[in-house]
A and B are shown apart, each in its own frame.
Chain A
Amino acid sequence: MYLTRLEERMLAGEYGYAAQKAMEILVALGKVYGAERMIKIRSAQISGVSYGNLGEEGLEFLLKLAEDGRVRVPTTLNPCGMDLEKWGEMGVPEDFAERQLRVVEAYRKLSVEPTLTCTPYLAGNTPRLGDHIAWSESSAVIYANSILGARTNREGGPSALAAAIAGRTPLYGLHLDEARAPTVIVNAPKIRGELEASALGYRVGRILGSGIPFFRGLETVSRDQLKALGAGLASSGGIALFHVEGITPEAHTHAEVRAEDKIEIAEMDLQEEIEILSDDFSDSDLAFIGCPHASIEELTELYLLLGNRSAKRRFWVFASRAVRAQAERMGLLRRLEELGVKVYCDTCPVVAPLNKLGIKTVITNSSKAAYYLRNLHGVRIQLKPLRRLVEDIVR
């Protein structure tokens, strides 16, 4: 692998321990993927924030890097296990909170902005078409690649951190034009709402496993539906990029899609997918939306659907601090809170210690959440479109 003089000096340790460790990781990755050289990146998004996964040893590793390391590009952070301000209200135990705060502090020392959201693109880290970036968090990766047209592989937490510290990443995979062409055409049914978009993504991801789908028939899809579609694709399959005819920025560059494979998804298939991901129970411990973190449009829609009726059960919305602040300025946050809706930031049910909060049954509108809550936390799930979810909680 070709390294510039600066990169060689980093690898030799002339720029300190953190830069050396980062370059070691990047060179190994370049080797594994046969990259010819590094490419400079414009931003990074780092996962691996929950103390439960890092452990004391992972935290020590971050602190060691922070002794002489700083990120070289704007870098944002995935959600952690709790709302940094309202963890007490959420029911998070104090010892968990104390450890979680130490992890966030370690990232801050590395000059990482603790955005603590899986939607950095709604919180100021918004790459442009063609930008090379190094992002982890599968739903953010697929959004950046597909909807923004930026270029990133599916990084893990440590490799995204290494790229942020070194300011570069090995040039391979989705950084290259040829790897971004569609591999399969998907004829999709008309989508109504985020849940159906999410189920479409989940089903296609499950069928394909990997590859780059090119969707037809989604001309009226909204930005939030694209977000849900991507999150679904990336949770059931190892998919990091999709195109939508007439919508996404690189779709036209593949106008003559030569993909030989074609799959048809019918409206019935989406209902079946939703049923596969749903369990049978009558009382929910929690209803929530915001996986991935909700946008201001989703908060507005929720408010309109509530129509001045109060939530009678525990109902949480997860959003980035940026979106929450916007809702606050609009007066929307106060109105939602008056109706009994809690808007939490910095976290999500997938990374929060749900078992410690006594949550066993959950209603939501996200196939990604359904998959992870079932598998990681043993929670039982019902998937419902927002409209029906709202009717449930006001009853």
Chain B
Amino acid sequence: MRTILEGRVIREGRVEGEALTTRQPISFYGGVDPETGRIVERGHELEGVVITDKVLVFPYGKGSTVGSYILLRLRKRGLAPRAIINQKCEPIIAVGTIMAEIPCVDEIDVSKITTGDIVRIDGPRVEIWKRRPDP
């Protein structure tokens, strides 16, 4: 099944990948290890999960603005997510995706995307192929 959503471009790009989704906001500074690409925030529902090469889907960023630099560091080490989809992008993610040149779209209903879905981003357009039925 294919769903097409239209969002707003924060950082232009065309890319396809497997979705990794969370309903919780993500803090890149202190919350993601720049050496491994792993989410390390204690108690986060994705704690221990590696975000590398995923289309990372979360409502919005949180935490320190140093988080923008963490996105850049992940990218330069080949550990960054392939793209980012937000419900409502905030400055840490917006600035970080531009510095790191990671495609980013927001104003997307992120509840429509499940971990494991294949997602293709082309500018503001987000195509979703369901891999598993919704629980």
Write out the residue numbers on chain A whose beta carbons fall within 8 Å of the beta carbon of B75: 57
Q: Is A385 among interface residues, defined by CB-CB distance under 8 A?
A: no
A275-B105 Cα distance, complex, nearest whole Å: 45
Looking at B19-27, B63-71, B126-134, the stretch in contact with chain A turns out to be B63-71
Are B89 and A32 within 8 A (Cβ)? yes
A156-B72 Cα distance, complex, nearest whole Å: 14
Out of B65, B69, B91, B95, which one reaches A54, CB within 8 Å? B69
Assuming A28-B10, A48-B66, is B73 touching A159 (CB within 8 A)?
Answer: no
From residue B71, how far is it (CB to closest CB) to chain A in Å? Answer: 10
Interface residue SS majority, chain A: helix
Q: Produce 1/0 per residue, B99-110, CB < 8 A to A.
A: 100000010000
From residue B123, how far is it (CB to closest CB) to chain A in Å? Answer: 14
Write out the residue numbers on chain B whose beta carbons fall within 8 Å of the beta carbon of A55: 34, 69, 73
Out of A24, A29, A158, which one reaches B69, CB within 8 Å? A158
Residues 49-102 of B contacting A (Cβ, < 8 Å): 65-66, 68-69, 72-73, 75-77, 89-92, 94-96, 98-99
A25-B95 Cα distance, complex, nearest whole Å: 6
A50-B92 Cα distance, complex, nearest whole Å: 18
Q: Is A16 among interface residues, defined by CB-CB distance under 8 A?
A: no
Are A29 and B95 within 8 A (Cβ)? yes
A156-B94 Cα distance, complex, nearest whole Å: 11
Q: State the interface size on chain B (CB cutoff 8 A).
A: 24
Q: Is B120 among interface residues, defined by CB-CB distance under 8 A?
A: no
Q: Which of B34, B89, B92, B94 has the most CB of A within 10 A?
A: B94
Are A25 and B98 within 8 A (Cβ)? yes
Write out the residue numbers on chain B whose beta carbons fall within 8 Å of the beta carbon of A58: 69, 72-73
Write out the residue numbers on chain A whose beta carbons fall within 8 Å of the beta carbon of B72: 57-58, 61
Write out the residue numbers on chain A whose beta carbons fall within 8 Å of the beta carbon of B99: 21, 25, 61, 158
Count of CB-CB pairs between chains A and B under 8 Å: 70
Are B95 and A57 within 8 A (Cβ)? no
Residues 40-99 of A contacting B (Cβ, < 8 Å): 47-48, 53-55, 57-58, 60-61
Residues 99-141 of A contacting B (Cβ, < 8 Å): 136
Q: State the interface size on chain A (CB cutoff 8 A).
A: 23
Are A28 and B34 within 8 A (Cβ)? no
A158-B96 Cα distance, complex, nearest whole Å: 9
Are B69 and A28 within 8 A (Cβ)? no
Q: Is A340 among interface residues, defined by CB-CB distance under 8 A?
A: no
Are A156 and B90 within 8 A (Cβ)? no
Are B76 and A57 within 8 A (Cβ)? yes
- Closest Cβ neighbor of A136 among chain B residues: B65
Assuming A32-B90, A54-B69, A55-B69, is B95 touching A156 (CB within 8 A)?
Answer: yes
- Closest Cβ neighbor of B90 among chain A residues: A32
From residue A370, how far is it (CB to closest CB) to chain B in Å? Answer: 17
Residues 13-45 of A contacting B (Cβ, < 8 Å): 21, 24-25, 28-29, 31-32
Residues of B within 8 A of A (CB): 8, 10-11, 29, 34, 65-66, 68-69, 72-73, 75-77, 89-92, 94-96, 98-99, 106
15 contacts between A and B (CB under 8 A): A25-B98, A28-B94, A28-B98, A31-B8, A32-B10, A32-B91, A57-B72, A57-B76, A58-B73, A61-B72, A136-B65, A155-B65, A157-B68, A158-B65, A159-B91
Residues of A within 8 A of B (CB): 21, 24-25, 28-29, 31-32, 47-48, 53-55, 57-58, 60-61, 136, 155-159, 162
Question: 4 tightest CB-CB pairs across the interface, nearest first?
Answer: A156-B65, A57-B76, A57-B73, A28-B94
